[in-house]
Amino acid sequence: MILTVFVALFTMLSASNKTAIDYYESGDMKKAKSLFLASSKLDAVDYYYLGMINLKENNKNAASESFNKGLQADPANLFNSVGLAAIQLASDPKTAEKALKAISGNKLYKKDPKMQVAIAEAFALIKNKALTDMFLAKAKKADKKSALPYIMEGNQLMAQGKTNEAAVSFENAVYFDPNSKIALVKLAQLYVGTRKQIAFDYLDKTTTLDPSYEYGWKTQADLRYKNGFYPEARKAFEKYMSLIKPQPDDYQTYGEILYFNKDYPASLEALAKAPVNTVTNRLKMYSLHDLNKFDEAIPIAETLVSTTAASDLIYQDYAFYADMLNKTKNYQGAAKYYELAYKADTTRISGLTDIARAYERAKDYPNAVKYYQKVIDVNPAHTLADMYSLGVAYYSAGTDLTATPDEMKRLENLSKASDAFGKMATTFPDQYVGLLYQARANSAMDPETTKGLAKPYYEKVLPLLLLTPTERKAEIMEVYQYMGIYFLKKDDYPQSRAYWVKVLELDPQNAIAKQVIASIDSVKKK
């Protein structure tokens, strides 16, 4: 008799689809259902779980069908009777409650915590807290070492947002049953945000207890991936993949993990087997970008931005696309997508610089100026380089005759360049760059050096240049040459000659300096 009861209980608590039940217990009903439906053989317990999934999806007809099939498979297994009573609770609560209490008191199940938890779950579906708690208490009493009632209790508390209380329940589950894999997983999910190593230790224990624990490997991969432990996530997910028949969604996840492991070729190989969607297009484009395969990546980028709702696109989508267009010298296209990238995340001030540089390379100087100015306007901590870039954009607009053929406009840009470099010199008085370029801008406005517009700025910058004469030799020669020309045009030959002598001191082979000095000396002789 004892042996018969033991065998009966074993039969009632076992099922052929262990992995599907693991997913059910984890709360992943979608995956559990797909595994049950894919199975060629379902036993009574399998039908019970499938019925509960259908019931939780509010599909009572499908639930009833599953429970009845379970009773047909094994009339002695009353778990499916619990399922039918759970359906009936909504329409005839008194009759259903009586049936459930009768099953609870059945001598075969009285000491069975699994059955008591099943009945508690039935009452939980109709939100009858009093009876849910009563049968959870019965489950705890039936077997003081069972983790099951504490797991259900913890799940309910998690659903209510009571994570601390839930953690206590799951800790109790592990205390009473140190080998409860699902309790260990639940604790890991709770602790991973604050106690990562403990969480990972719990996950390691689940797969040590059961190396074929599919859900444990998957959870380990997910949590390690989400927390930046990419090599460990890869190992866990590859173990998970070895236990299953991978589906397209699995290859998508695998491709993501491989990308963050910077194994771009392997990521592309996995993504080729994944569904085509925003995520996979994004990762394909990113991987090809990082492999410098721009010809392959650009069409994917175009597909991504043209087929995806703007709300689903992120800064990196536009920025990567823009970067590839920039590197393939499509500067106008690059500027367009840098602009979209900045709109997606206006906290990235560097995005404004990217836009400006792209327009500058496209020789669209008005837009380059516009965005360099924005960099300065939105960033109180703008740098010397920021101000320099603005000045250079004006300077380029004033010196590039192709881009700015109109003489008045050219002079206007050079004047603005002078002003920008002047502000730069005032803001950074110990730096020579602002004054030097202010001199150059004014020299460009006076190409014949008849007005001497650049003279005051070359005179001011020279002392700064002479602080580091070796490093600034070319710039010092530039000053001397300008001053030499200026005084030559003023017929001030001694002053002019003095500067050309200085040029020769720095560059003894300078042909122009030799020629000018010789010419001045010949005039003196006459």
- Quick check: 9 pLDDT over 80? no
Query: What's the mean pLDDT when you consider all of the chain?
Result: 92
Question: Per residue in 101-117, pLDDT tens?
Answer: 999 998 888 899 999 99
| Kind and range of the H or E run holding 341 | helix 331-344
Q: Where are the domains of the chain?
A: 466-526
Query: Distance (Å, rounded) from C-alpha 358 to C-alpha 356?
Result: 5
- Residue 398: closest CA among 418, 370, 384: 418
Task: Please give the pLDDT value at position 2.
Answer: 30
What share of the chain has pLDDT > 70, as a percent? 97
Q: Which of 15-24, 89-98, 141-150, 445-454 is least confident?
A: 15-24
Task: Please give the pLDDT value at position 481.
Answer: 97
Full DSSP string of 117-157:
HHHHHHHHHTT-HHHHHHHHHHHHHH-TT-SHHHHHHHHHH
Residue 419, classed as helix, strand or coil, is helix
Q: Measure the CA angle with vertex 219, ends 214 and 225; round to 5°.
A: 130
Residue 400, classed as helix, strand or coil, is coil
- Quick check: 509 pLDDT over 90? yes
* Amino acid found at 127: K
* Tokens describing residue 244: 């299953």
- Quick check: 7 pLDDT over 50? no
Average pLDDT of the residues in 457-478:
96
Average pLDDT of the residues in 442-465:
96
pLDDT-based confidence at residue 526 (cuts at 50, 70, 90): low
- Quick check: 12 pLDDT over 80? no
Task: Please give the pLDDT value at position 26.
Answer: 87
- Quick check: 242 pLDDT over 80? yes
- Quick check: 182 pLDDT over 90? yes
- Quick check: 4 pLDDT over 50? no
Task: Please give the pLDDT value at position 16.
Answer: 62
Average pLDDT of the residues in 24-30:
90
Residue 314, classed as helix, strand or coil, is coil
* Amino acid found at 486: Y
Average pLDDT of the residues in 37-57:
93
Query: Distance (Å, rounded) from C-alpha 73 to C-alpha 67?
Result: 10
| SS3 of the chain: helix, strand, coil, percent, to 5 | 75, 0, 25
* Amino acid found at 170: F
Task: Please give the pLDDT value at position 374.
Answer: 96
- Quick check: 339 pLDDT over 60? yes
Q: What is the dihedral of CA 36, 38, 41, 44, to 10 degrees?
A: 20
| Buried b / exposed e along 14-47 (16+ C-beta atoms within 10 A) | ebebebbbbbbbbebbebbbebbeebeebbbbbb
Task: Please give the pLDDT value at position 500.
Answer: 96
Q: Using a cut of 0.85, tell me whether the model's pTM lies above it.
A: no
Q: Which of 12-16, 48-52, 267-271, 333-337 is least confident?
A: 12-16
| Kind and range of the H or E run holding 316 | helix 315-327
Burial of 292 (0-12, 13-18, 19+ CB in 10 A): exposed
**Contact assessment for residue 205 and residue 194, using Cβ atoms and an 8 Å cutoff:** no
Task: Please give the pLDDT value at position 18.
Answer: 87
- Rounded to a whole number of angstroms, the CA Rg of the chain reads 39
Q: How many residues does the chain have?
A: 526
Integer CA distances (angstroms), 269 to 59, 263, 265, 293, in order: 39, 10, 6, 15
Full DSSP string of 463-485:
HHHTTSTTTTHHHHHHHHHHHHH
Secondary structure letter of residue 179 according to DSSP? T
Task: Please give the pLDDT value at position 314.
Answer: 96
Average pLDDT of the residues in 367-386:
93
